[in-house]
Amino acid sequence: MKRFRYEYGGGPVHLVAAAVGLGVAVWALFMVFGVLDRPQNFVRWFVGAIVLHDLLFLPIYLALGAAASGALLRGQRTRIRVAALNHLRLPALFSGLLLLVWFPLVLSKAAASYESRSGLSTDVYLGRWVALTAVLFGVSALLFALRARSLGDNR
Amino acid sequence: MSAAARCPPQPPIPELGPFKRSFWRSPLRGPWLASFLSAALLPLIVVCFLTGLLSHAAYNPALGRNQLFDPGVDFYFFEWPVRPSWLYALTQGLHVVSGLGAIPILLAKLWAVIPQLFERPAVRSVAHALERAGLALLVSGSLFVFATGILNIQLWYPFGFSFVPAHYYAAFVFIAALAFHIVTKITVARRAFSERGVVAPLRDELEHTMPEPPLEGLDTTAPVAAAPPTMSRRLLIGTVGAGSLGLALMGIGQSVGGPFRRLALLAPRGRSEGNGPNGFQVNRTLGSVGIPREKLVRDWLLTLSVGGDMRVELTRDQLLQMRQTTASLPIACVEGWSTTQRWTGVRISELARMAGAHGAEIEVRSLQESGTFKRATLSDRQVRDPRTMLALKVNGADLSLDHGFPARLIVPALPGVHNTKWVGELAFAGTAA
């Protein structure tokens, strides 16, 4: 057993889970390659998903977050500066999340197929997203203004 | 994993930038946060996966030409029921709502564990190499199923592959890799929860928010050089939860309908389509299937055939003179939206009797010439149900052309696209009595 752990780096349960989990995953990949006309497009999206998220989107929003906190805090972590940062980045996060999920409608990417299939136009969505974004930032700014006085008193 | 293991030769990665542990400074990252987010995510993923399998079964893939692709292994061991009539509206609503709600939690989870992508040594052992391969499949698979699902419900298909089999099989990749991941990480979650408490870290105010400590002997994302916090754990989890709830409400709005539809501000089927009897959501307009108008309005005849032999032809007026039945039934779309309306028409079981067909499946054929859903095969149980009808009217008025005039199929609990519109023929299987 000791020998097994040394060679493998984990217990037998780990090996069984790896065999079953990776086995089923590889089976599913083989199945889908057999079914699809152009499996290379599947591969492009499947690999593209992790590459885009881990090496592009996530670094971009980390950098945006770092830039925002650098600009607002300027090395001074007073309660009011930290609060200002949060009152800015939370509505930005929500607005970004809504855009991330609904961008095909908001940016009219889906316009042609959406209009042909549903009989409706995608025109309303950009306005709705802008309005929701304005409400999010507006409410956040209002709450910040209400909190600012009590936060300013301390420190 | 912590015990000594043979370490394979390492690729030379310089200890720079993200490869340096001290690069990752958030005090909130760590095993508790990763475990807490996972615990929130898991039930949503389980619901989403199971309702996805149910959706596959709801199409009755074993019947006729209903099967969209060869599933390799069949996971449907039962015939899709007709009761309750809102069954598919519920299961598919849950599928889309749980998927939407999972997105913010998944993104937060990926943020919480991103330092692991850059961990060094890159491969510690055979077991560790397998774990990392599994993680690549897990992250890719999860992002793939959520991305394709999100695009599909907005009727945008930029992928260049067929959605249904790709979404279906990628879900198996995702779930299989997830099961492996849970086995390898369950110790971390158990230790994090027992050492830190499940919800106790949520109680700390910002001033008392400390960097998450590592778990002794386990490899985690706890920071080695944490910056001071700018957010409490409660605020972080609250933000993720609010994002999740907001998206879920949009999905619920278009699934439940009625006054709740207004909640679905950015969802594709959150819009009012007028107050008239035909003022409800259209999955596919007549324009998008291209049936010439005169084929529906002037020349239309319904054909009843049994075993391939044409038996009866009926005009719309003749159908209207037959005994009519009325039922409130939902149209429930695979894209997660539903709408319940009051339909009036002729029972399919009555048309079966008229054609002389006995206890058999039936293929309902539309006049549309192309498209996967130009036909649908119903089970015997669906044919016999007294609410299964060839609808001629909705809410007391003639069907509009977009809603399937002159006649469409309405079956309780059947996925929307199988409620065939612009029906031209009911083809009963089997032989005459």
C-beta neighbour count of B349 within 10 angstroms = 16
How far away is chain A from the Cα of B139, in angstroms, using its nearest Cα?
6
In the predicted structure, residue B265 carries a pLDDT above the cut 50: yes
pLDDT exceeds cutoff 80 at B25: yes
Reported as a single tens digit per residue, the pLDDT across A11-52 is 999 999 999 999 999 999 999 999 999 999 999 999 999 999
N- to C-terminal Cα separation, chain B: 70
pLDDT (tens digit, 0 to 9) for every residue of chain A, 155 residues total? Answer: 889 999 999 999 999 999 999 999 999 999 999 999 999 999 999 999 999 999 999 999 999 999 999 999 988 888 999 999 999 999 999 999 999 999 999 999 999 999 999 999 999 999 999 999 999 999 999 999 999 888 865 54
SS3 sequence of B205-227: CHHHCCCCCCCCCCCCCCCCCCC
**Confidence grade of residue B75 (pLDDT, cut at 50, 70, 90):** low
Name which of A17, A46, A118 is nearest B155 (Cβ-Cβ).
A118
A 52-91 → B contacts, CB under 8 A: 53-54, 58, 69, 73, 77, 82, 85-86, 90
CA B282 vs. chain centroid, Å, equals: 19
Q: Which of the four pLDDT bands, split at 50, 70 and 90, describes residue B196?
A: very high
pLDDT tier at B4 (50, 70, 90 boundaries)? low
Q: What is the pLDDT of residues B278-317, one digit of tens each?
A: 999 999 999 999 999 999 999 999 999 998 888 899 999 9
Other beta carbons within 10 Å of B146: 22
Indicate yes or no: CB of B266 within 8 angstroms of CB of A128.
yes
Q: B-chain residues within 8 Å CB-CB of A68? A: none
Residue the block writes with tokens 């855009």: A99
**What is the β-pairing status of strands B423-428 and B302-306?**
parallel
pTM for the predicted model, two decimal places? 0.95
CB B43 within 8 A of CB B251: no
> Residue B378: which region, alpha, beta or left (left: phi > 0; alpha: psi -120 to 50)?
beta
pLDDT of residue A155: 45
CB contact under 8 A, A105 and B266: yes
All residues of chain B having their beta carbon less than 8 Å from the beta carbon of residue A90 are 239
Whether A18 sits inside 8 A of B173 (CB atoms) is: no
CA distances (Å), origin B320, targets A113, B251, B347: 35, 38, 12
Please judge whether A117 and B133 are an interchain contact, meaning their C-beta atoms are less than 8 angstroms apart.
no
Helix ranges restricted to H, chain A: 2-8, 12-35, 39-52, 58-73, 79-106, 111-118, 123-153
Contact residues, chain A, for B168 at CB < 8 Å = 32
**Contact predicate B372/B43, CB 8 Å:** no
Phi, psi (degrees; rounded to nearest 5) at B46: -65, -45
Residue given tokens 């006054």 in the structure block: B259
> Which residue on chain A is closest to B288 by alpha carbon?
A116
Q: How far apart are the first and last CA of chain A?
A: 60
Q: How far apart are CA A105 and CA A37, in angstroms?
A: 28
- Rounded to the nearest angstrom, the minimum Cα separation between A149 and chain B is 18
Joined together, the tokens standing for residue A39 give 């499996």
A118 and B283 in contact by Cβ < 8 A? Answer: yes
The answer to whether the CB atoms of A86 and B228 lie below 8 A apart is no
ipTM of the complex: 0.96
